[in-house]
Amino acid sequence: MNFDDFKALYIFSCICLGLITITPILSLLIRFPGGERFSEIWILGSDHMAEDYPFNIVRNDTYTVYVGVCNHMGESMYYVVYVKFRNQTEPLPNVTKETPSSLPAIYEYRFVISDGEVWETKVTFSFDFDNASLVKSITIDSRTITVNKYGLWDSENEGYYYQLFFELWIYNLDEEDFCFHNRFVGIWLNMSNAVR
């Protein structure tokens, strides 16, 4: 090996060692494009598992679910989860058109979470009825909301079915308002034997 080859090898080694040394520092200063930016929303049953969801509802009994959101947006985000209640004929959000349900929110949760963090809350609810086809009110987390919502008899499944669902909205800095984040979860509720 002559002196020029040795010099070239020495310079190449120094450059490689320098890059290895400076890479962690550069990653703090330069934001490289990340993977897909998204948010998650979920609902868990009363045992904090993906099972044992309330289904057969009785008037004034209290039921529990857990609703959670995880932020994978690459930065802290301001969210709102709107709670909505519908009968079988009323609209759900349209994920193809990325539009929320046109139903009014009956309750909401607002929170800010950092990237990679999780927000979760226990949601307790109960219902008051005149009969199985008319839900007069819903109590969510000790707040009673009048809904006066009629259901239709489902002859195929032999019951009155309603759905409690949770829409995820996110604050959009450009629009300076919350926008539907095209995510929602819900549970079906059988009110057929509600009045005992």
The pLDDT value recorded for residue 72 is 95
- Is 57 in the same domain as 19? no
- Is 81 in the same domain as 97? yes
- Is 136 in the same domain as 53? yes
The pLDDT value recorded for residue 7 is 74
- Is 117 in the same domain as 43? yes
* Span 57-108, pLDDT tens digits: 999 899 999 999 999 999 999 999 999 999 999 999 999 999 999 999 999 9
Question: Has residue 165 been placed in a domain?
Answer: yes
- Is 4 in the same domain as 71? no
- Largest Cα–Cα distance in the chain? 98
- Is 83 in the same domain as 44? yes
Residue range(s) defining the domain that contains residue 50: 38-190
The residue-averaged pLDDT of 119-137 equals 92
* Span 22-50, pLDDT tens digits: 766 656 666 555 678 999 999 999 999 99
* Span 160-172, pLDDT tens digits: 999 999 999 999 9
CB neighbour list of residue 14: distance below 8 Å, 6 or more residues apart:
none
Question: Has residue 196 been placed in a domain?
Answer: no
Number of domains in the chain: 2
Query: What's the CA gap between 121 and 99, in Å, rounded?
Result: 25
Q: How confident is the model at residue 18 (pLDDT cuts 50, 70, 90)?
A: confident
Question: Has residue 195 been placed in a domain?
Answer: no
Residue pair 192/129 in contact (Cβ under 8 Å)? The answer is no
Question: Has residue 174 been placed in a domain?
Answer: yes
- Is 5 in the same domain as 102? no
The pLDDT value recorded for residue 8 is 72
- Is 157 in the same domain as 98? yes
39 φ/ψ sector (left φ>0, alpha ψ -120 to 50, else beta): beta
